[in-house]
Amino acid sequence: PFAWVLVTLDGADTAILHALDAPGPEAVRTGMRVRVRWAADRIGAITDIACFEPHEGAADAADAGAAPHDGVFADAVTGIVAEARLDYTYSPGRAQTAYINALSERKTVGERCPSCRKVYVPPRGACPTCGVATTDQVEVGPAGTVTTYCIVNIKARNLDIEVPYVYAHIALDGAGLALHGRIGGIPYDQVRMGLRVEPVWTEGGRHPDHYRPTGEPDADYDAYKELI
Ligand SMILES: [Zn+2]
């Protein structure tokens, strides 16, 4: 056994929640003095505090703010139910805003890393490999290549698509990584790696409803093997 305790560190105005090495309820009381037990390996993170332990010999704090209890835990609070509400404004950032705005014109815009030249679609504003901001906007597609896919046999709730259907990784022409989308306009068992596809938009849609075959010859494996 151990205890969860709120500890107000000397000099602090607020308490932190942490574990206290205590063999049982009788070993814990409000106002008791405790000290940090440091982890064997310290790396400069909160995990450096292995736990707290009783500070033997130190007098209890007189003004702990709560009356010491008698060690009887019959009325211990074991849980509370609280309503919570979270209001937030989602800001997708510069790169994704440009991506979303371009989609409204039925264009797909990625961003190229100035270092490794990879074109990210959708763009996140930075290249995670090189750690630099991506700034060059590059229109990709509209056609692309199926790099890999799965056949979906389980109907999703609130999704009016007959099963089985194919969900695929699609490398749009010019993109440095694949995005995913549904493949339509072809029997599910004829979809294949290398299949050339193009987006199909529906009225008022903010993104392609699905992708359908273009009728072009399949792409060479070498052309998309890095994008699977
Ligand atoms: Zn890069």
In angstroms, what is the span from residue 225 Cα to ligand 1's centroid?
Answer: 19
In angstroms, what is the span from residue 114 Cα to ligand 1's centroid?
Answer: 7
In angstroms, what is the span from residue 134 Cα to ligand 1's centroid?
Answer: 8
Residue 158 has pLDDT above 60, yes or no: yes
Averaged pLDDT of the chain: 89
In angstroms, what is the span from residue 149 Cα to ligand 1's centroid?
Answer: 26
Looking at this protein, which amino acid is placed at residue 24? G
In angstroms, what is the span from residue 151 Cα to ligand 1's centroid?
Answer: 32
101 and 70 in a single domain? The answer is no
* Angle of CA points 1, 31, 61, to nearest 5°: 140
Residue 57 has pLDDT above 90, yes or no: no
In angstroms, what is the span from residue 221 Cα to ligand 1's centroid?
Answer: 23
1 and 23 in a single domain? The answer is yes
Q: Which two tokens stand for residue 18?
A: 């942490």
List phi, psi (to 5°) of 26. -70, -15
Q: What is the pLDDT of residues 192-224, one digit of tens each?
A: 999 999 999 998 888 899 999 999 999 999 999
Q: What is the pLDDT of residues 12-32, one digit of tens each?
A: 989 999 999 999 989 999 999
In angstroms, what is the span from residue 227 Cα to ligand 1's centroid?
Answer: 15
130 and 148 in a single domain? The answer is no
154 and 200 in a single domain? The answer is yes
Domain that holds residue 224: 141-228
Residue 64 has pLDDT above 90, yes or no: no
Average pLDDT of span 28-37:
93
Q: How many helices (H) and strands (E) does the chain have?
A: 2, 14
Euclidean distance between CA atoms 97 and 135, whole angstroms: 13
Euclidean distance between CA atoms 15 and 18, whole angstroms: 9
How far is CA 113 from each of CA 1, 35, 131, 224, rounded to the nearest angstrom?
53, 49, 9, 19
In angstroms, what is the span from residue 167 Cα to ligand 1's centroid?
Answer: 28
Neighbours of ion ligand 1 (CB under 5 A): 113, 115-116, 127, 129-130
Torsion sign across C-alpha atoms 201, 206, 211, 214: positive
Residue 66 has pLDDT above 60, yes or no: no
157 and 209 in a single domain? The answer is yes
Provide the domain count of the chain: 3
Helix (H) or strand (E) holding 158: none
Q: Would you place residue 72 in the very low, low, confident or very high pLDDT band (cuts 50, 70, 90)?
A: low
Q: Which two tokens stand for residue 167?
A: 């969900």
Q: What is the pLDDT of residue 117?
A: 93
83 and 1 in a single domain? The answer is yes
In angstroms, what is the span from residue 171 Cα to ligand 1's centroid?
Answer: 18
* Angle of CA points 113, 117, 120, to nearest 5°: 55
In angstroms, what is the span from residue 143 Cα to ligand 1's centroid?
Answer: 24
In angstroms, what is the span from residue 112 Cα to ligand 1's centroid?
Answer: 8
Torsion sign across C-alpha atoms 17, 21, 25, 28: negative
153 and 189 in a single domain? The answer is yes
In angstroms, what is the span from residue 139 Cα to ligand 1's centroid?
Answer: 18
CATH of the domain at 208: 2.40.50
Residue 122 has pLDDT above 80, yes or no: yes
In angstroms, what is the span from residue 132 Cα to ligand 1's centroid?
Answer: 7
